[in-house]
Amino acid sequence: MIDERDRKILELLQRHPDHQIALIAERVNLSVSACSRRIQKLEERGYIMGRFVVLDRDRVGVPTTVFALVKTAHHSDEWIEQFRRAVSDIPEIVEAHRLTGHYDYILKIVLPRVEHYDVVYRRLVKRLELFDVSASISMETLKDGLAVPVEYAS
């Protein structure tokens, strides 16, 4: 079980992973060593999976986002594993989700420009047989981020 102080630590680490432990400790009314121990326990118990640097996509040359909806006629464990490997090997595919409903998967793809989508598409279909792929270009990002709500953590 985690308590409200642990939740606050998780919230602070998500929003400001570069903060010094002393600053986090001050904000949750703990000593630095007590706060450090709590963070270590949260890591050991799997609440914290890693710490990331978020890059400015415009500055690194991949400002375009395309969402590809994928249908397949294959649903075997072997095919799913082959699909998992294929999307993992293509760095432009930054997220992949298995879905319920009309489509089987949705892929979030980041690109230097929309025309580059064809390059990624060809790499994917070269490795896998897909029934249908429908792509949509994101015109504007209204909300983006990796932070998740922590009030449900137990």
The C-alpha atoms of residue 64 and residue 133 are separated, in whole angstroms, by 18
Q: What are phi and psi of 13, to 5 degrees?
A: -65, -35
Three-state secondary-structure class, residue 91: coil
Is 64-137 in the same CATH topology as 4-44? no
Look at residue 83 and give its three-state secondary structure: helix
Q: Domain extents for the chain? A: 4-44, 64-137
Q: Tell me the three state secondary structure of residue 51.
A: coil
Per-residue pLDDT of 111-145, as tens digits, reads 999 999 999 999 999 999 999 999 999 999 999 88
- Distance from C-alpha of 2 to C-alpha of 6, rounded to nearest angstrom: 6
**67, 136 contact by CB (below 8 A):** yes
103: tokens are 């489509």
> What's the CATH fold of domain 4-44?
Arc Repressor Mutant, subunit A (1.10.10)
pTM of the prediction? Answer: 0.86
Rounded-to-5 percentages of helix, strand, coil across the chain: 40, 20, 45
User: Which among 100, 99, 119, 101 has a CA at the least distance from the CA of 109?
Assistant: 119
Q: Does domain 64-137 have CATH number 3.40.1440.10?
A: no
The pair of three-digit structure tokens given for residue 7, joined into one six-digit string? 């939740």
41 CB-side CA count, 13 A? 13
Structure confidence at residue 145 (pLDDT): 83
Nearby residues of 112 by Cβ (< 8 Å), 6 or more positions away: 61, 62, 63, 64
pLDDT in tens, 55-102: 999 999 999 999 999 999 999 999 999 999 999 999 999 999 999 999
Map tokens 């799997």 to a residue. Answer: 46
Dihedrals phi, psi of 132, to nearest 5 degrees: -155, 140
In which band, very low, low, confident or very high, does the pLDDT at 16 lie, cut at 50, 70 and 90? confident
